[in-house]
Amino acid sequence: MTKTAWVFPGQGSQAIGMGMDLLELSYAKDKFAQAEEILGWSVPEICQSEEEKISRTLYTQPSMYVVESILADLMRERGQHPALVAGHSMGEYVALYVAGVFDWSEGLRLVKRRAELMDSAAGGMMAALIGFNREQLEQQIEQTPDVVLANDNSPAQVVISGTPTAVEAVLSQVKAKRVIPLNVSGAFHSPLMAAAASEFQPVLESVTFKPAKVPVLSNVEPIPAVDAAVLKERLSRQMTGSVRWQEISQRLPEEGIERVVEIGPGTVLTGLIKRTCSGLILENISSVADLEGLGVRGEEEDTVTR
């Protein structure tokens, strides 16, 4: 049997209309209704709204959690199960839910509070670099206060995060094929999120974590773990820590993974994995049609995830 990992995208992969075909299914309808009770707003309404609204952190993260978790549940209903899971930033919460670490409603409440705190963050900047000299970039980051490597997505794509002055200073000294300022409210995955992370900690501590049923590769420490305390401690560092996605990608074949299924809108993560390690079967599940056609290989998409 092919050893399979499931991976879940985070903010940056959202798309207008995502998850709308799920409304045809009674299970999904029930989940959307449960989500509205917890969130106080409708995920389907947000998913059909204008780009400005669906891309606002406050709404994006909970909507992504709901859509991705429903798709994962429907895959399990069809007899599909992962040997390992991982998620990019917010996607790690879906991975933990799928691994049985906490129940669905607890996960959504965590994501809701996380999104509120991150949405209210201010005074920071994030920018993606594509096609750059890594040694030059790392040197400039080391020499510049208040900026960090927030997302190490692949050998050719990273995101830096910090104060606007610091980020601009690094960008002025590093040549890149493409630079994309990200439309976010704060310097996510950097020490500048310390206040938000501190406020989030009591919420995280209030949720009981259970041992994972399958190993989880965490953003801040991409080593497979199932221990509940370890997974919670790693998650507590995620808001201020770097997303080490390139290392997660490299770890997959080391763990004997032969097939990777990205569950959620877009094909960002499979694209990043393809650039990092070859030889893996890559698939994408973002719709009901994809569920019916499991086994179809996805095409990569050059989009920034954060």
Instruction: Provide the annotated active-site residues.
Output: 89, 189
Task: Dump strand ranges (E) for the chain.
Answer: 4-8, 84-87, 125-132, 147-154, 157-162, 176-181, 216-217, 259-263, 281-285
Looking up tokens 């950097």, which residue turns up?
A: 190
Q: How far apart are CA 243 and CA 68, in angstroms?
A: 19
Neighbours of 35 (CB within 10 A): 25
Helix (H, G, I), strand (E, B) or coil at 31: helix
Q: How far apart are CA 282 and CA 252, in angstroms?
A: 12
Distance of CA 118 to the CA centre of its chain: 14
Torsion of CA 192, 195, 201, 203, to 10 degrees: -120
Distance of CA 300 to the CA centre of its chain: 16
Q: How far apart are CA 298 and CA 261, in angstroms?
A: 9
